[in-house]
Amino acid sequence: MNCIPGIILIILALFVLKIALIAIFFYQEVRTAQKRDPAAKSFLEVLFLYQGLHALITYRVTHLFYKIHLYFLARMLSQLARFMTGIEIHPGARIGKRFFIDHGMGVVIGETAIVGDDVLIYQGVTLGGAGIEKGKRHPTIGNNVVIGTGAKVLGNIIVGDNSYVGANAVVIKDVPPNATVVGVPARITKQDGKKIDTSLDHMRTLDPIMQSIEELQKRIDKLENK
Ligand SMILES: CC(C)(COP(=O)(O)OP(=O)(O)OC[C@H]1O[C@@H](n2cnc3c(N)ncnc32)[C@H](O)[C@@H]1OP(=O)(O)O)[C@@H](O)C(=O)NCCC(=O)NCCS
């Protein structure tokens, strides 16, 4: 009976040690969350309450297991993290530094996805395969990319550095660096900070048929308004 306070103390000490280690090893990620989420009030809030961070911490462990071929254990832990956070990051994915998943629920990152440094993704984002093919079948996301809520980036495509994928976009073709893409299927609306006039620019159009339909729709709307 006398040993119970001792056991409680040991458990508490282990918990504090775990939190301290996470705070040290994931310092940059916590700071990134503070920088990129205006709602984040403190370091401790992010550390304890941000599901995106918790999912990333588990992923870093599962990825180690995956690399030494402990696939079952890796997947088991990853599924546990999914249950706890609503975020599914396959242990085989490769994720860069200062990755931040805001809100997180419903995020899925596939086995062969590659994510660069300083990437921000919101809830409901899928970095998925486009079919049932094997090998590299998930996207490669460049550095400093933002992927808006609900966006789906599908297949072995590349999203270039500093690009922005709009909310709910479905991206099925490569996106050049410094571009903003929106819509289904995604089309470029901005390149190198300049707005793209879709009626004049067919060079950077991801889906020219869709853009032609949109232009026609705009003209019909104008006529109907008259
Ligand atoms: C894409 C986005 C970054 C806007 O970029 P922007 O370059 O400032 O774009 P603009 O507002 O100038 O819009 C450019 C065109 O794209 C359209 N557009 C913007 N966002 C869009 C979207 N998500 N889906 C479809 N069309 C969109 C605009 O209506 C506009 O169309 P128009 O030229 O025919 O008028 C922004 O709309 C977005 O989707 N952000 C995601 C943010 C997010 O996920 N937040 C989650 C918080 S929890």
Domain limits, the chain: 95-215
Contact 56, 29 (CB under 8 A): yes
Position 176 scores a pLDDT of 96
Tokens of 156: 């072995």
At residue 30, does pLDDT exceed 90? yes
d(CA 99, CA 44): 18
pLDDT for residue 116 is more than 60: yes
- Is any atom of ligand 1 closer than 6 Å to the C-beta of 52? no
Q: What pTM, to 2 d.p., does this model score?
A: 0.86
Phi, psi torsion values for 195, nearest 5 degrees: -70, 140
Is residue 202 scored above 60 in pLDDT? no
The pLDDT confidence band at residue 38, using thresholds 50, 70 and 90, is very high
Residue 126, Ramachandran bin (φ over 0: left; ψ between -120 and 50: alpha; else beta)? beta
Q: pLDDT at residue 204 above 70?
A: no
Query: Residue of the nearest CA to atom 30 in ligand 1?
Result: 189
75-90 average pLDDT score: 97
Task: Give tens-digit pLDDT for 126-154.
Answer: 999 988 888 999 999 999 999 999 999 99
Candidate from 100, 102, 175, 182 with most ligand 1 atoms within 8 A of CB, to mutate: 182
149 C-alpha vs ligand 1 centroid, how far in Å? Answer: 11
Q: Is residue 192 scored above 90 in pLDDT?
A: no
The mean pLDDT of 171-184, rounded to a whole number, is 96
For the record, the structure tokens of 56 come out as: 């990333």
pLDDT band of 25, cuts 50, 70, 90: confident
Burial of 22 (0-12, 13-18, 19+ CB in 10 A): middle
Report whether CATH 3.40.50.620 matches the domain 95-215.
no
Instruction: Report which of residues 24 and 146 the model is more confident about.
Output: 146
pLDDT at 194: 83
Biggest distance spanned by C-alpha atoms of the chain? 87
**pLDDT for 41 beyond 80:** yes
Q: Which two tokens stand for residue 57?
A: 């911490």
Give the confidence band of 108 by pLDDT, cuts at 50, 70, 90: very high
Least confident of 14-23, 58-67, 77-86, 207-216: 207-216
Q: How far is the CA of 132 from the centre of ligand 1 (A)?
A: 31
For residue 201, pLDDT over 80 is answered with no
- Candidates 75, 163, 59; CA nearest to 120 is 163
Residue with more model confidence, 1 or 196: 196
Which of 2-6, 111-115, 157-161, 169-173 has the lowest average pLDDT?
2-6
With a 6 Å cutoff on the Cβ, whether 122 touches ligand 1 is yes
Question: Above 70 in pLDDT, residue 207?
Answer: no
Give the pLDDT mean for 17-44.
Answer: 91
